Amino acid sequence: MSEIKDLKPKALWKHFYSLTQIPRPSKKEEKVVDFVEKFGKDLGLETIRDEVGNVIIKKPATPGNENKKTIVMQGHLDMVPQKNSDKDFDFEKDPIETKIEGDVVKANGTTLGADNGMGVAAAMAVLEAKDLEHGPIEALFTVDEETGMTGANELKPGLLDAEILINMDSEDEGELYIGCAGGLETNAFFHYKEESLPADVSAFDIEVKGLKGGHSGLDIHLGRGNANKVLNRILWYAIQNLDVRLAHIEAGSLRNAIPREANATVVVPNSQVGEFKNYVKEVTDAVKNELSRVEPNISIDAKDADMPSSLIDKETQDNLVRAIYGCPHGVMRMSDSMEGLVETSTNLAVIKMEDKKIRIQTLQRSSVDTAKEDLGNMHRAVFELAGAEVVHEGAYPGWKPNPESPILATMKEVYNNKFGKVPKIMAIHAGLECGIISQAYPELDMISFGPTINYPHSPDEEVNIETVQKFWDFLVETLKNIPEK
């Protein structure tokens, strides 16, 4: 695992390795917050830890650069905790097991944490460096970006002195991002009653796994399968045509990850077991055919199970399955202003049972706030028609592109001079913290960039080694060329 410390640039990879050794799933970042705070203090730099756990470290300009504009390098400390079902791993205790495969670094059966460990490691390397030329620098390390943007939302005015924000949470080298989508979480709750099991039934566990999943913003346009939708399709056919009853359902895991795995326990009259298995096979064959190119490893099984102690009442069961079938998922509209950019999408993310409630968690994204709200209301209408209680929460704004941004002009010129080509200017269909931070610091001139990270939010996450060097070189050269006040 420590082999990655020998990769170049060593200054960055050293810190990324350290981050892989510290458990830091969203909402469980105490250890990494302590680590980064100590890092700043050990360097003798002004270090601030705010009420929610954000850490700000300030480094003075190198001699002769005192009149340059102050920049803040920004990244988030948390990572998405996703693993393969056969991987024994505790994200709150275990270090990430990294490995080098050809030209990429990956993890062993889990997410890697390059999102956003690469950005955090780069900022740490700059703070520690004694041989870089730069103006006044601040580093802002936020918490809980992946599950609620809590750190950005709770950032108070007056803590930062910067005039420019460089977010390092983008995931395609050679691209500069100047805008992002906003988000809205829509949760539906079904309250159910427990019912006794009928006689002469058999229990089965239906399991959907092997899908690629991925980031619900960056990968939503790829047409990958949604394990929640696949599972519900089987349930719908079985419940519509047979006397199948639902006892338990657990599907998806995170609001911003396309669901990779889903499970349900059902009971089937013994006289209908053959027909039930036929329906499972029919849906399995259809789904595998439909998704053969994008999901070659999908697996759907109905296995004998232990008999459950109770069932979800039939009315709630039927309403639940119908509502999930009707719930939209995927791309709703492409952008009219930027070719190839998703404007509006939704992710049917999580189905979870707890305390006699079934929660369906969805996440809407759009670069148009009214479209985001409209899509949230579409979900509300579907679930309220089915008798569910619906709550909108976790809304955050998009980041409106500014093609006239001074830092954009500077970084375009620096990239062209360094690498002989002009970088692509992009907006991203994902939630960056820039839009939220701008609410507390509206005068900040902002931009986002990073190395190439493939398949974030899934156990296939990987970072391209060559692009990490280019990312670092670009950052170092940008710091040299920050304009004066």
Residues 353 and 446 in one domain: no
pLDDT for 456: 92
111-156 pLDDT, tens digit per residue, is: 999 999 999 999 999 999 999 999 999 999 999 999 889 999 999 9
> What is the domain count for the chain?
2
The yes-or-no answer on residue 128 being catalytic is: no
Question: Of 396, 429, 446, which residue is a domain's last?
Answer: 396
Residue with tokens 């620098």: 137
* Residue 429 φ/ψ, nearest 5 degrees: -90, 60
Residue in 318, 237, 317, 325 with CA at minimum distance from that of residue 276:
237
By residue range, what is the domain housing residue 261? 184-396
Residues 26 and 62 in one domain: yes
Q: How confident is the model at residue 1 (pLDDT cuts 50, 70, 90)?
A: low
Residue with tokens 């053969």: 292
51-95 pLDDT, tens digit per residue, is: 999 999 999 999 999 999 999 999 999 999 999 988 999 999 999
Domain assignment present for 485: no
179-189 pLDDT, tens digit per residue, is: 999 999 999 99
The yes-or-no answer on residue 275 being catalytic is: no
Residues 13 and 103 in one domain: yes
Domain assignment present for 24: yes
Domain assignment present for 221: yes
Domain assignment present for 85: yes
Domain assignment present for 255: yes
Residues 163 and 220 in one domain: no
Q: What is the CATH number of the domain that holds 98?
A: 3.40.630.10
pLDDT for 148: 84
Residues 390 and 448 in one domain: no
| Active-site pick, 115, 145, 172, 460 | 145
pLDDT for 336: 87
- Does the pLDDT of residue 2 top 80, yes or no? no
Q: Please tell me the pTM assigned to this model.
A: 0.80
- Does the pLDDT of residue 337 top 80, yes or no? no
Q: What is the CATH number of the domain that holds 307?
A: 3.30.70.360
Residues 44 and 120 in one domain: yes
Residues 130 and 13 in one domain: yes
For the chain, give the percent of residues with pLDDT over 70: 100
Residues 252 and 191 in one domain: yes
404-449 pLDDT, tens digit per residue, is: 999 999 999 999 999 999 999 999 898 899 999 999 999 999 999 9
By mean pLDDT, which of 202-216, 298-312, 332-346 is the weakest? 332-346
**Mean pLDDT computed over every residue of the chain:** 96
Residues 9 and 69 in one domain: yes
Residues 308 and 457 in one domain: no
pLDDT for 359: 98
pLDDT for 430: 87
5-41 pLDDT, tens digit per residue, is: 999 999 999 999 999 999 999 999 999 999 999 999 9
pLDDT for 431: 84
Domain assignment present for 168: yes
pLDDT for 339: 83
Question: Of 372, 396, 420, which residue is a domain's last?
Answer: 396
Domain assignment present for 195: yes
What is the rounded (10 degree) CA torsion for 266, 272, 273, 277? -90
The C-alpha angle with vertex 432 and arms to 430 and 436, in degrees rounded to 5, equals 125
Residues 197 and 297 in one domain: yes
For the chain, give the percent of residues with pLDDT over 90: 92
Question: Of 380, 396, 412, which residue is a domain's last?
Answer: 396
Domain assignment present for 465: yes
Residues 371 and 440 in one domain: no
